[in-house]
Structure 1
Amino acid sequence: MRRILALLAAALLALVALPAAARPLRVLYLDQSVGWKHAPVARPTGGGLAQSETAVIAIGKTSGVFEAEVTQDAREITPERLAKVDVLVFYTTGALPISPEAWAAVQARVAAGKLGFIGLHSATDTGWPYDGPGEPYTRFINGRFAGHPWTQGTPIRVETLDPDFPVMSMWPVGFDYAEEIYQHADFDPARVRVLQTLDFAGTPLKRPYAVPIAWVRQVGKGRLFFSNLGHTPSTWEDLRFRHQLVEAVKWTAGRTAGSATPDPFRQAMWQFKALLDYEPVAGRDDRAILGRLAKMDPAWQEATAARIAGLRALYPAKPGDDRAPFDAAYKALLAEVAARGGK
Structure 2
Amino acid sequence: MARRLVLALLVAFATLITLPTSALAAARPLRVLYLDQSVGWKHVPVARPEGGGPSSSNLALSETAMIAIGQESGAFTAQVTQDAREITPERLADIDVLVFYTTGALPISPRAWAAVQQRVAAGKLGFVGLHSATDTGWDYTGPGEPYTRFIGGRFAGHPWTQGTPVRIETLDPDFPAVAMWPVSFDYAEEIYQHSDFDPTRVRVLQTLDFAGTPLKRPYAVPVAWARQVGKGRLFFTNLGHTPSTWDDPRFRKQVAEAVKWAAGRTAGAATPDVFRQTMWQFKALLAYEPVAGRDDRAILARLSKMDPVWQDATAKRIAELRTVYPNKPDSDRAPFDAAYRAVLVDVLARGGVK
Q: Partners in 1 of 2:289 and 2:274 — Cα distance?
A: 24
Give the 3 Å change call, closer, same or farther, for CA 158–16 of structure 1 in structure 2.
closer
Give the 3 Å change call, closer, same or farther, for CA 297–138 of structure 1 in structure 2.
same
Q: CA deviation at 1:21?
A: 1.7
Deviations, residues 266-300 of structure 1 (Å, cap 9, x unaligned): 00000000000000011111110001001111111
Report the equivalent of 2:337: 327
Deviations, residues 136-178 of structure 1 (Å, cap 9, x unaligned): 0000001000000000010000000000111111000000000
1:64 aligned onto 2:69? no
Unaligned runs of 5+ in 1: none
Following TM superposition, the consecutive aligned residue runs of length 4 or more in structure 1 with deviations greater than 2 angstroms are 7-19
Deviations, residues 28-53 of structure 1 (Å, cap 9, x unaligned): 00000001000000001142100000
Q: CA deviation at 1:342?
A: 1.2
Among 9, 32, 35, the residue aligned to 1:30: 35
Q: Partners in 1 of 2:23 and 2:162 — Cα distance?
A: 45
Q: CA deviation at 1:8?
A: 8.0
Q: Partners in 2 of 1:11 and 1:246 — Cα distance?
A: 26
1:341 aligned onto 2:346? no
Secondary structure at the counterpart of residue 180 of structure 1? strand
> With structure 2 as the length reference, what TM-score do the two structures score?
0.93
Report the equivalent of 2:308: 298
Q: Paired residues, what number?
A: 338
* RMSD of aligned residue pairs (Cα, Å): 1.5
Correspondences of 1:282-293 after superposition (within 5 Å)? 282-293=292-303
1:132 aligned onto 2:142? yes
Report the equivalent of 1:209: 219
- Partner letter of residue 71 of structure 2? K
Q: Partners in 2 of 1:131 and 1:163 — Cα distance?
A: 37
1:200 aligned onto 2:205? no
Among 144, 147, 161, the residue aligned to 2:157: 147
Q: Partners in 1 of 2:92 and 2:104 — Cα distance?
A: 21
Among 40, 45, 63, the residue aligned to 1:40: 45
1:171 aligned onto 2:181? yes
Q: Partners in 2 of 1:307 and 1:149 — Cα distance?
A: 20
Deviations, residues 289-340 of structure 1 (Å, cap 9, x unaligned): 0010011111111110000000000000011111000000000111100110
- Partner letter of residue 17 of structure 2? L
Deviations, residues 55-104 of structure 1 (Å, cap 9, x unaligned): 00000011111000000000000000000000000000000000000000
> With structure 1 as the length reference, what TM-score do the two structures score?
0.96
Report the equivalent of 2:281: 271
Q: Partners in 2 of 1:101 and 1:144 — Cα distance?
A: 22
Report the equivalent of 1:91: 101
- Identity among equivalent positions (%) equals 80
- Partner letter of residue 105 of structure 2? A
Q: Partners in 2 of 1:9 and 1:17 — Cα distance?
A: 17
Give the 3 Å change call, closer, same or farther, for CA 168–10 of structure 1 in structure 2.
closer
1:159 aligned onto 2:169? yes
